[in-house]
Amino acid sequence: MQRIRLRYTKRGRLRFTSHRDFQRAFERALRRADVPMAYSAGFTPHPKVSYANAAPTGTGSEAEYLEIALTAPRDVGELRELLDESLPDGLDITDAVEARTSGLADRLQASVWEMRLDGVSPEDAQKAVDAFLAAESVEVQRRTKNGMRSFDARSAVAGLQAVPAPSDRPQDKPCAILRLVVRHLTPAVRPDDVLSGLRAVADLAPPVPAAVTRLAQGLFDEESGTVTDPLAPDREAVTAAPPTAAGLTTAKAPEGAGSA
């Protein structure tokens, strides 16, 4: 059985796609691309697809991950292209590697988020950031299926800063951009929890909902405060290991009598 790990995006209007909707779209893409999927056992077999730490509905993402299991080997690059062509624009497969290591979900230790606050001046955003970081704890509330829950939004935040807005933004309309690095702890702290915390400590309330995009997720380097590529260990293992059956087939193809 061959295992492939994929990185995909949620862009534009597709950020409002729920995780369940994405699952349905992805399974259709698997069928269109004629991927030899492995299936679970039992009365209702389903494709062996493992989703890891999906972004909340309404947020964009450049770094979502999943893993699929195949019953026959396929070239990783060709598979990525076929799946990307079979998905709607905005749901894009941007990277693929053969899984040669274990624990992809365990490597997703932290995320980098960008929050665009239209109608908020950079100065006001910076004051709110300073107040948030200066606090030992920031209590926020979130509604769950079991009712309202209170928790500390500060402890999971490894970094928060105001960054310059893009130069193409209209100069007469204030816009603040915040860059957030948050560890994946329990309970999970989401970008909207941090926005609630900024409102609590500094009365920062954007006039329109924030546009939130995940830029990266992966291993967290405590020393540098950066988030690294979770697929890097698989790439390193592939270069150090002998080729798979899929690789051998691709390499030997030109030696055959004629081309397809």
| SS3 of 200-257 | HHHCCCCCCCCEEEEEEEEEEECCCCEEECCCHHHHHHHHHCCCCHHHHHHHHHHHCC
Instruction: Judge whether residue 248 has pLDDT over 50.
Output: no
* Strands (DSSP E) found in the chain: 2-10, 49-52, 60-70, 93-98, 110-118, 139-144, 147-152, 157-163, 175-183, 211-221, 226-228
Mean pLDDT value across residues 117-121: 94
Would you identify the CATH topology of the domain 107-227? Answer: Alpha-Beta Plaits (3.30.70)
The ranges assigned to domains in the chain are 2-99, 107-227
HSE-CB of 237 using CA atoms within 13 angstroms: 12
Q: What is the DSSP letter of 189?
A: P
Contacts of 197 (CB under 8 A, 6+ apart): 132, 138, 140, 153, 154
Mean pLDDT value across residues 132-146: 92
- Please report the pLDDT score of residue 241 as a whole number: 60
Dist. CA 171–CA 161, nearest whole Å? 21
Q: What percent of the chain has pLDDT over 90?
A: 77
Q: Does 170 or 46 have the greater pLDDT score?
A: 46
Mean pLDDT value across residues 139-158: 91
Would you identify the CATH topology of the domain 2-99? Answer: Alpha-Beta Plaits (3.30.70)
Q: Does 248 or 110 have the greater pLDDT score?
A: 110
Instruction: Judge whether residue 195 has pLDDT over 80.
Output: yes
Instruction: Judge whether residue 2 has pLDDT over 80.
Output: yes
Report the predicted TM-score, pTM, of the whole model to 2 decimal places: 0.87
Mean pLDDT value across residues 11-29: 94
- Please report the pLDDT score of residue 256 as a whole number: 44
Dist. CA 58–CA 238, nearest whole Å? 35
pLDDT, tens only, 227-246: 999 999 999 987 766 555 44
Q: Does 82 or 147 have the greater pLDDT score?
A: 82
What 3-state DSSP class applies to 180?
Answer: strand
- Please report the pLDDT score of residue 173 as a whole number: 84
Instruction: Judge whether residue 253 has pLDDT over 90.
Output: no
- Please report the pLDDT score of residue 42 as a whole number: 84
Residues 129, 205: contact at Cβ < 8 Å? no
Instruction: Judge whether residue 225 has pLDDT over 80.
Output: yes
pLDDT, tens only, 58-81: 999 999 999 999 999 999 999 999
Contacts of 240 (CB under 8 A, 6+ apart): none
Domains 2-99 and 107-227 alike in fold: yes
Which band of pLDDT confidence, cut at 50, 70 and 90, is reported for residue 250?
A: very low
